[in-house]
Structure 1
């Protein structure tokens, strides 16, 4: 029925149909692009441009949204934040007591205080992807996303110091919690 000369035409038609029907609907494409715009804006707010934007995408993905989420990045980010705060405080006052140091680190790391406030200031409640039944503005979700940013930066650069420097700039340096 079809000779060899028709094969390339049929092949193109079939491939075109596969691409057309496997493409996301227009609504899905626009929501994807709005997420991309939000990630671009976030990079400007933190004054850091990711080499691997996939790391930031994952940092802004809650476990309710996907199995590929920010939990592990958040753990790394929390460690980076705590180390950065400890280092800055000890550089400023090498005689600070361990108790005072731990209290100051705790103030910056608490979900209910500084971490969530910093995350809300960045607008993370509007960026982090969550399931439709999850409230993205809860302190724990915003704080997890905030911490995950610094884990993602450390992975992007291969250096926790780079992530700590971005944290310090975003947090406000010697802000009210640290007042060093």
Structure 2
């Protein structure tokens, strides 16, 4: 039995639309340099997002869009500080509160954060408005912290964010101990 021409055209259109859709409902399309950079970033951090829109938001500065990573950065900073404090106490159960606080501050501080962000290329990934410097430490730190927050939300676990934090972090336990004595 032959299919009427109108139905054949509709069937062809449906097939083309189905082929154009990503295989996973949350998959990142690979149609732009930004999407390609996000895919590379996921490889670098060894974490694949189930909800890639979280990663897109994390790599979007407030100057670029109202849909940005500021709230994710709050969670990411908290996860970073928690990871550093936990590591400090695991290394020395008798550490003073001020030493643990200093270690958490140093490990999650802007200098360490900006260095880690630069190493994985965040300045070339983060979307900012013209007039905003993508290489500025507050911008790249905000994006990196938002990345940690996005991982935590995506995995529904701050533990996952802490793992990514330590993969990227530059301070070793010895450097943390040295910083604590200063």
**How does the TM-score come out when normalised to structure 1?**
0.79
Check whether the contact 1:104–1:177 (CA below 8 A) recurs between aligned residues: no
Secondary structure, counterpart of 2:60 in structure 1: coil
- How do 1:11-50 and structure 2 match up within 5 A? 33-50=32-49
Number of paired residues?
158
- How do 1:1-180 and structure 2 match up within 5 A? 33-111=32-110, 113-172=111-170, 174=172, 177-179=175-177
Secondary structure, counterpart of 1:79 in structure 2: helix
Check whether the contact 2:80–2:165 (CA below 8 A) recurs between aligned residues: yes
Give 1:91 shift.
1.0
Query: How many angstroms apart in 1 are the aligned matches of 2:46 and 2:176?
Result: 21
Query: How many angstroms apart in 2 are the aligned matches of 1:38 and 1:138?
Result: 19
Secondary structure, counterpart of 2:44 in structure 1: helix
- Give the aligned partner of residue 15 of structure 1: none
Query: How many angstroms apart in 2 are the aligned matches of 1:36 and 1:105?
Result: 33
- Unpaired runs of at least 5, structure 1: 1-7, 13-30
- Unpaired runs of at least 5, structure 2: 1-5, 11-29
**How does the TM-score come out when normalised to structure 2?**
0.78
Runs of 4+ in structure 1 off by over 3 angstroms are none
**CA RMSD, Structure 1 to Structure 2 (Å):** 2.6
